């Protein structure tokens, strides 16, 4: 479990202090305007930045104290598909996720863990990519290319819980900082992610561009603004976010005339 204790990052980029914890099996959305600090927060959770105040703990121990090989088995930071991976077959790319988290494969003299094919199929199914396993990443449309990147991370932290080459079998954490998608694509993706979070007891944290969609699909939503976590929203308070994100309707001449009438 990841816990934030008065965590803050001073300087630029910055994050104001706050406390919370990420629960296994939950889908947490992060919303907010451009420059709000969403990527900064994801970067902190991924261990790319170290907090300048407070701490982030993985199972009670500061994140940076865990060996990187162990962190690779627990936490995966998913970013937009890089051009450098465009020639990779989707199936191989997804399998790479598991290989990256298996530090002991070479010690056992095996070229790959026996559970690799099943893990790859599990991850492809979770992201609805069964029919695209033999295509190249660069041939996929942006939605499926992002799904392939997520499938690779799923393979890394969750799809092979009984792999003999992994040291530990604790709950995984997926941190998604992807390119914005069209509303219905994002909603579909979030629905699949929610199913995966339940099935694999994964904690998934996703930067989300469509706030209404996120509220419908996520267990919780953190609303960020100016480097601060302003609110911790549940779907039950959907109207609160709407009030924040929908600008007031411009006043019509009729309204103005009404308002100025003494």
Ligand X SMILES: Nc1ncnc2c1ncn2[C@@H]1O[C@H](COP(=O)(O)OP(=O)(O)OP(=O)(O)O)[C@@H](O)[C@H]1O
Task: Check residue 12 for interaction with ligand X (CB under 6 A).
Answer: yes
Task: Check residue 166 for interaction with ligand X (CB under 6 A).
Answer: no
Task: Check residue 154 for interaction with ligand X (CB under 6 A).
Answer: no
Residue 37 or 95 with smaller CB distance to ligand X? 37
Q: In the chain, what's the furthest Cα-to-Cα distance?
A: 87
Task: Check residue 39 for interaction with ligand X (CB under 6 A).
Answer: yes
Task: Check residue 180 for interaction with ligand X (CB under 6 A).
Answer: no
Contacts 24+ apart (CB under 8 A), 3-7: 3/56, 3/57, 3/60, 4/54, 4/55, 4/56, 5/54, 5/55, 5/56, 5/57, 6/53, 6/54, 6/55, 7/44, 7/51, 7/53, 7/54, 7/55, 7/56
Grouping H, G, I as helix, E, B as strand and the rest as coil, residue 256 is helix
Task: Check residue 229 for interaction with ligand X (CB under 6 A).
Answer: no
Q: Chain-centre distance of CA 52, in angstroms?
A: 23
Task: Check residue 163 for interaction with ligand X (CB under 6 A).
Answer: no
| Three-class secondary structure assignment of 153-219 | HHHHHCCCCCCCCCCCCCCCEEEEECCCCCHHHHHHHHHHHHHHHHHCCCEEEEECCCHHHHHHHCC
CA distance 223 to 239: 13
Cβ proximity of 77 and 103 under 8 Å = no
Task: Check residue 215 for interaction with ligand X (CB under 6 A).
Answer: no
CB closest to ligand X, residue no: 13
Q: How far is the CB of 212 from ligand X (least distance, A)?
A: 17
Task: Check residue 81 for interaction with ligand X (CB under 6 A).
Answer: no
Stretch that binds ligand X, among 31-39, 80-88, 238-246, 253-261 (CB under 6 A): 31-39
Helices vs strands, H then E, count in the chain: 9, 10
Residue 158 or 177 with smaller CB distance to ligand X? 177
Q: How far is the CB of 175 from ligand X (least distance, A)?
A: 12
Task: Check residue 40 for interaction with ligand X (CB under 6 A).
Answer: yes
List the one residue from 36, 98, 105, 202 that touches ligand X (CB under 6 A): 36
Cβ proximity of 89 and 134 under 8 Å = yes
Instruction: State the number of CA atoms in the 13 A half-sphere of 84 facing the CB.
Output: 1
Stretch that binds ligand X, among 33-41, 73-81, 129-137, 252-260 (CB under 6 A): 33-41
Q: How far is the CB of 211 from ligand X (least distance, A)?
A: 12
List the one residue from 13, 54, 142, 161 that touches ligand X (CB under 6 A): 13
List the one residue from 34, 162, 168, 254 that touches ligand X (CB under 6 A): 34
By rule CB under 6 A, what count of residues binds ligand X? 10
List the one residue from 32, 51, 97, 113 that touches ligand X (CB under 6 A): 32
Q: Which residues bind ligand X (CB under 6 A)?
A: 12-13, 32, 34-40
């Amino acid at each position: 479990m990841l816990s934030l204790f008065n965590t803050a990052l001073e300087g630029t980029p910055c994050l104001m202090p706050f406390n919370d914890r990420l629960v296994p099996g939950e889908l947490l959305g992060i919303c907010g305007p451009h420059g709000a600090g969403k990527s900064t927060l994801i970067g902190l959770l991924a261990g790319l930045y170290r907090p300048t105040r407070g701490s982030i703990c993985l199972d009670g121990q500061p994140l940076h104290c865990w060996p990187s090989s162990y962190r690779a088995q627990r936490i995966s930071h998913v970013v937009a598909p890089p051009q450098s991976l465009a020639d990779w077959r989707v199936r191989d790319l997804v399998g790479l996720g598991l290989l990256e988290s298996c530090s002991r494969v070479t010690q056992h003299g095996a070229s790959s863990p026996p559970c690799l094919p099943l893990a790859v199929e599990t991850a492809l199914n979770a992201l609805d990519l069964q029919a695209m396993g033999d295509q190249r990443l660069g041939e996929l449309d942006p939605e499926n290319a992002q799904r392939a990147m997520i499938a690779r991370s799923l393979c890394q932290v969750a799809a092979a819980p009984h792999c003999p080459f992994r040291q530990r079998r604790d709950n995984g954490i997926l941190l998604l900082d992807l390119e914005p998608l069209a509303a219905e694509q994002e909603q579909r993706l979030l629905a699949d992610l929610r199913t995966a979070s339940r099935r694999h007891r994964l904690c998934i944290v996703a930067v989300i561009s469509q706030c209404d969609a996120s509220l419908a699909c996520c267990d919780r939503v953190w609303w960020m603004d100016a480097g601060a976590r302003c609110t911790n929203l549940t779907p039950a308070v959907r109207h609160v976010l709407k009030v924040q994100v929908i600008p007031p309707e411009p006043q019509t001449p009729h309204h103005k005339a009404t308002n100025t009438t003494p």
